[in-house]
Structure 1
């Protein structure tokens, strides 16, 4: 059994399930998708309260069952007590860092320290789990200013002090105004797929996914090593290396974030 812990309950399941249908051999019946419906900093705070980082005996499954006990998650996890009930665990969350203000009083340094600790803890899908980060958030999956393949994507960044949310910027600046170019629509929890009525649509989605995977993998390599090529070794662009390079090369010196999406990187690593 594989557990996927997603930050949101709309975009992320839609993206993952489309990607699974197009590329992965995994059996959806052998997977549990959980939407945490809160950000990575909230999850970090809850983990600290449970003293999980010091191996207190509690784990991510306990937190999910506690936090979402009033939702459907209480049903899907009711027979699972610990994380070792899963063969693999993956988490997908947004970086979504903010300059401190009257609503968010956590310093940039503290926010980055929180994410570092999370990435160090969730560094193995067969252990505690493996965390993937969207920069700055899930909408980066469609932030292309030109039709794919957009080779300028490697240089796209967003300012930390932007007056507009990244979702607003994506709506205004992206060539793609919705997710149709990369995903099927969903009817509640089920993808709306017409097979074999629309093979051209399926092939178009595959082509776009392959473009997006290559662009994000190359950009991850560029963020880490300033090389606009596919890395020779997949592990060179691991999630902690990407994060540290984001902070040292973009966030701290320039108050910027290099736009990058986690799902294509997951696909790149998962399909060996």
Structure 2
């Protein structure tokens, strides 16, 4: 047990505890941009910096080996801030909702079926100790769709022998239809900064946003030309402009008369649907979900039962496998299910 007392703060913030940079600065940044109804800002995301098994050990250090059996009231914000931000301790009472996003990582030397099950069993309520979303085999699984819709996703799995994690990342990059779409804002920013030496962050941000707000082919060239004025050197403007016209055209969102954000919002809805269907297939052996029962099927999912299945099918290091599944994308549906239905 810990006996620390801290400054009382007004409860009302949300807290997302994620494993690394990708989760915060790529996935959740894009989610928040595409779903502005989600009232969470980037400062409410903490990067833990290591995996769930290290977090388990940190809990043990604070609460003892029997923390789950003794039904300890785990204060995760305190555990993490004590380790990473000791001068700015935070407490569970500071937050309205706490969400944890971590990878399964069976290949990790500290992997333990018992430990990860304890974590999933205990962290089930975002309004209490926190809700844990485990991604199988890792965060990149949200990108692992090869077409839209992707009927083959129902049976998509990877062998346990596919390790370390960089091997799965390489496989996803080879197979994904989503990678270039998800990375597009960062590609524009990199183009301006690294190739055309635009060092002013605010100028790059404004330019990127104007390009991502284009929603018609007829206005594309004019908008891009105006966005680049005063941002890139005059002699390079035609080169940058026509490169960006080519990129935007290939992304396809202008052909649907949508902005990039609207286009990606629709794609995220499809990603969520695929992963809810997949979880249903893992737990109940039924992939197809009746449209009028979408919410009902989502609400009956049990992340602990899904983890038990994943542990079972991946036991054998030679012939075992892991179902490809991203659960952190459920965060949007949990926040407000209407966001995935409209």
TM range (shorter): 0.7 to 0.9
Aligned partner of 2:116 in structure 1 is 115
Matched residues, number: 253
Aligned partner of 1:95 in structure 2 is 104
| Contact 1:16 1:263 survives alignment (8 Å) | no
| Contact 2:34 2:265 survives alignment (8 Å) | yes
Provide the secondary structure at the position in 2 that maps to 1:148: coil
Of the candidates 286, 290, 299, which is equivalent to residue 227 of structure 1? 286
Which structure 2 residue ranges, 5 or more long, are not aligned?
A: 1-12, 190-200, 216-257, 338-342
Per mean C-alpha deviation after superposition, the further-off stretch among 208-217 and 260-269 is: 260-269
| Contact 1:13 1:33 survives alignment (8 Å) | no
Q: Distance between the aligned counterparts of 2:155 and 2:147, measured in 1?
A: 16
Displacement after TM superposition at 1:120 (Å): 1.4
Aligned partner of 1:131 in structure 2 is 132
Q: Distance between the aligned counterparts of 1:31 and 1:219, measured in 2?
A: 32
Does 2:214 align with 1:197?
yes
Provide the secondary structure at the position in 2 that maps to 1:96: coil
| Contact 1:24 1:271 survives alignment (8 Å) | no
Provide the secondary structure at the position in 2 that maps to 1:252: coil
Aligned partner of 2:242 in structure 1 is none
TM-score, normalised via structure 2 length: 0.66
Of the candidates 47, 54, 57, which is equivalent to residue 45 of structure 1? 57
Aligned partner of 2:329 in structure 1 is 264
TM-score, normalised via structure 1 length: 0.81
| Contact 2:17 2:45 survives alignment (8 Å) | yes
> Superposition RMSD on alpha carbons, in Å?
2.8
Q: In structure 2, do the counterparts of structure 1 residues 19 and 163 end up closer, same or farther at CA, with 3 Å as the change threshold? A: closer
Aligned partner of 2:28 in structure 1 is 16
Aligned partner of 2:91 in structure 1 is 82
Q: Distance between the aligned counterparts of 1:242 and 1:30, measured in 2?
A: 29
Q: Distance between the aligned counterparts of 1:14 and 1:173, measured in 2?
A: 19
Aligned partner of 1:60 in structure 2 is 76
Displacement after TM superposition at 1:55 (Å): 6.1
When Rg is computed on C-alpha atoms for both structures, the one with the higher figure is 2
Of the candidates 296, 311, 322, which is equivalent to residue 247 of structure 1? 311
Aligned partner of 2:159 in structure 1 is 159
Displacement after TM superposition at 1:202 (Å): 2.1
Displacement after TM superposition at 1:266 (Å): 2.0
Aligned partner of 1:206 in structure 2 is 265
Q: Distance between the aligned counterparts of 1:134 and 1:42, measured in 2?
A: 16
- Whose helix proportion is higher, 1 or 2? 2
Provide the secondary structure at the position in 2 that maps to 1:65: helix
Q: Deviations over 1:201-249 (max 9, x none)?
A: 223212211111111000000000001133534332132122122223x
Which structure 1 residue ranges, 5 or more long, are not aligned?
A: none
Mapping of residues 23-38 of structure 1, within 5 Å: 23-29=35-41, 32-38=44-50
